[in-house]
A and B are shown apart, each in its own frame.
Chain A
Amino acid sequence: MKKHLSGQIAIMLVSLVLGLMLATQFKNVQNVGGNVSLQRAQELTSQIQKLTQDISSQDDIITGLEQRISEYENAALDEGKLNDTIYKDLERSRVLAGLVELEGPGVIVTVNVVPVNDWAGEQTIVRNVYHDDLLMLVNELNAAGAEAISINNERLVATTEIRNAGDYIVINTNRYSVPYEIKALGNPDTLEASLKLLGGVADTLGEELEIKIRHEDKIRLPKYNGPLQYQYALPVQ
């Protein structure tokens, strides 16, 4: 009788432990099935955001296209008018491509080196201006809604590079050196405020370079003078 009892207790204990293990494991597995990583949700949210933005801007574009089509339809009967419509279209694209001079309010930022005397009393500079500095300034102006930008009379277009080459900086394949003059069209207050943000670009660069920002009601921006032809890229048919 006593032996029988101890056997039952042993089985009970084993079953208890096994039961607990199974319960814990099932709970874990359930967790995995029921929950998903937050990263996946963030990814989806950002994809949805992008789609929503694309859709709203596409709506605008389609409205614009419809307007152009009606212009064409009105002009279709009249050859001279058709010519005008196409010419107007070309002009509009030329403005967007940076092939037309622009004028408007904005800011002019001049970037120059700061002269100092070194240990021997000889004149030198704190440091030269590098392409990162100009890239940062241009990017900040873009973020503040600049409509068009030029550096030392090189209009910045979609393919414009700003790259170090020794003591020079190459912009649109032409070489430039200090001082650099960045002209940006847009809301002058917004443009200036974005640069002069506490700890912003002007503060950061201002420690080692001379940064001057001034408003102007009428700034004239040059047009892009580089090559127009594409060698590799073709319009998608």
Chain B
Amino acid sequence: MNARRLALLALLPLAALGPDARGAAPPRRVLRVCADPNNLPFSNANREGLENRIAELVARDLGAEVRYTWWAQHRGFFRNTLNAGLCDLVPGMPSSLERAWATRPYYRSSYVFVTRRDRGLRIRSFDDTVLQRLRIGVQLVGDDYANPPPAHALARRGLAANVSGYRVLDDYRRPNPPAHIVDAVARGEVDVAVVWGPLAGYFARRSRVALDLVAVRPQVDVPFLPFVFDISMGVRRGDTAFRAEIDSALVRRRAEIARILDEFGVPRLDGRVGSEARR
């Protein structure tokens, strides 16, 4: 606790030097953020994730400092954090989520096919016949009839037998539990994995072997199974004024946000395609 408080104090002078700092008058404003302490590329306790960076950018814009409540993004995350009043802002949630109010989206990404470049598989669509001969890695959630959309798309095409399931909620003692599936492609455990873009982009860059990322097609499978999601920050229902503030900060900081997303290799479908996805 003391260590964390010291860390916060240490950040103060830096934040005060931000370009739009309005925080001359003490006490300084605090932006209370809830995030997962062990989930790169999104966030971690060392504040190394892209959502840490964007949250801090927004805080700087508002002349505030970020104070985190760390909570694993598992079942009950919104209930126990934002909606329990532990914080006011959750960065990085799908814009269509109903558990909180969404700000305007600040990026749009897609599920991608991840393959080893040396395999030359060039998969572009769930309908590519080559998939019938391959081991396909997908992530599974495990309850509420809910799973990431690739699992459904493949099952519907009669490919359930080709699927290897990796748990989104994998062993939480390991760093960044959802990252395991990208490693599985590099190690050849599966021929192809279908992974959420930001996750794939970040870990593909750190992979020992070259990996190709290709946004999946179709973008929306019948009858309604989207693979493309807009990403927003979440605020509590009813926090109208606060949401408007965050919205304006996101607009003002658009260029800097884009640079952060590029830095993390996030494949995007909003006009700025990440470098990995272009290859």
Real binding pair:
no
Q: Which residues of B contact A (CB under 8 A)?
A: none
